[in-house]
Chains A and B, each alone.
Chain A
Amino acid sequence: MYRNLTKTLGFLLAWFGAGWLALPFIAEDMLRYVSEEGSVNFTASFILAGVSFLLSLLCFIHCITAKPGEIQTQQVYRCPRCKNEIFPGTEYCPYCGDFIKK
């Protein structure tokens, strides 16, 4: 059930990790153009990049190893005329008033 989610998150977390990795270098460049005083925390950025890459790896591992699961989907009944969801066994649609054949 979660395989599709972890696959997508794996890619996005890798992208996010690359962002944390690039942050101190880009921030350092930005500080050259701005008159304000500031400092760049390389250690924190690299730790966060590491955490993101690790989570990305875990997502990919889950995606590869997890067995495909089934979701118990709910049966949806719709009015043939207005297409709104109705309860099973309803004779008249509560939205459009149409008679529903069994």
Chain B
Amino acid sequence: MEELKKSHLLISMGLGGLIGFLCAWVNTFYMIYTLPLFFVTGNFNIIMLVTACIIAPFVEELSKPIGVYLIKMEEKALLSVKNWMILGAFAGLGFGLMENLMYTFNAYMVAGAEVASLLLLLRTLLCIPLHMIATTISCFGFGLWANTGKIKYFIVCILISMLIHGSYNFIASII
């Protein structure tokens, strides 16, 4: 097994951040997929709920560990499950930090510095650990897949991470 390099951490965190930047912008476009629901139900809230609880977790959980996929496919690194998991945690951290930055900037432009700083504090306490938990679990599965050759571990773990993310978004929507 190889040792974890600083460049691996930087790649996973940096690309996680890049995905966070993109996701913070394109969140609205996810709604396009749920528009048919609006025509059937006539309820706009259902679009918001399906987008936040099903589509966003599906897209984000698959794309967050892009740096981890890259390290496996391009660098052909042979890492232990623990190290893949650490890379996942860093990918989630990068994603969460960048998403926070984007949302805080938006809040600053719309509502001012006080609201923006409170939002930053709230998202640092809630959203960053959520993203880190979800990506740690999915990359744990990725590490098991990389080490055993059985893809079922990755599929189960990514589904669990999507479920956690979706449940969080659902609770945050109704609370």
B126 interface hit (Cβ, 8 Å): yes
Q: Chain A residues with Cβ under 8 A from B132's Cβ?
A: 12
Shortest CB-to-CB span from A56 to chain B, Å, is 10
Q: Chain B residues with Cβ under 8 A from A73's Cβ?
A: 147-148
Report how far A82 CA is from B149 CA in the complex, Å: 21
Assess A18 versus B125: contact at CB under 8 Å? Given A44-B175, A73-B147: yes
Say yes or no: B76 contacts A72, CB within 8 Å.
no
- Chain A residues 9-23 with CB under 8 Å of chain B are 9, 12-13, 15-16, 18-20, 22-23
Say yes or no: A5 contacts B133, CB within 8 Å.
no
A90 interface hit (Cβ, 8 Å): no
Which of B81, B115, B128 lies in contact with A30, CB distance below 8 A? B115
Interface size of B in residues (CB-CB distance below 8 Å): 31
Report how far A1 CA is from B76 CA in the complex, Å: 23
Q: Hey, what's the 0/1 contact readout for A66-83 against B, CB within 8 Å counting as 1? A: 000001111010100001
Interface size of A in residues (CB-CB distance below 8 Å): 33
B22 interface hit (Cβ, 8 Å): no
Say yes or no: A34 contacts B111, CB within 8 Å.
yes
Closest to A76 in B: B78
Report how far A75 CA is from B122 CA in the complex, Å: 46
Which of B115, B129, B136, B147 lies in contact with A74, CB distance below 8 A? B147
Say yes or no: A12 contacts B133, CB within 8 Å.
yes
Q: Chain A residues with Cβ under 8 A from B136's Cβ?
A: 5, 8-9, 12
Assess A23 versus B122: contact at CB under 8 Å? Given A5-B85, A16-B133, A33-B111: yes
Q: Chain A residues with Cβ under 8 A from B126's Cβ?
A: 16, 19-20, 23
Report how far A53 CA is from B148 CA in the complex, Å: 33
B109 interface hit (Cβ, 8 Å): no
- Chain B residues 89-138 with CB under 8 Å of chain A are 89, 111-112, 114-115, 118-119, 121-122, 125-126, 128-130, 132-133, 136-137
Extra 5 A-B pairs, beta carbons < 8 Å, given A12-B133, A26-B122, A33-B114 = A41-B175, A71-B144, A71-B148, A72-B148, A76-B78
- Chain B residues 140-158 with CB under 8 Å of chain A are 140, 144, 147-149
Say yes or no: A34 contacts B118, CB within 8 Å.
no
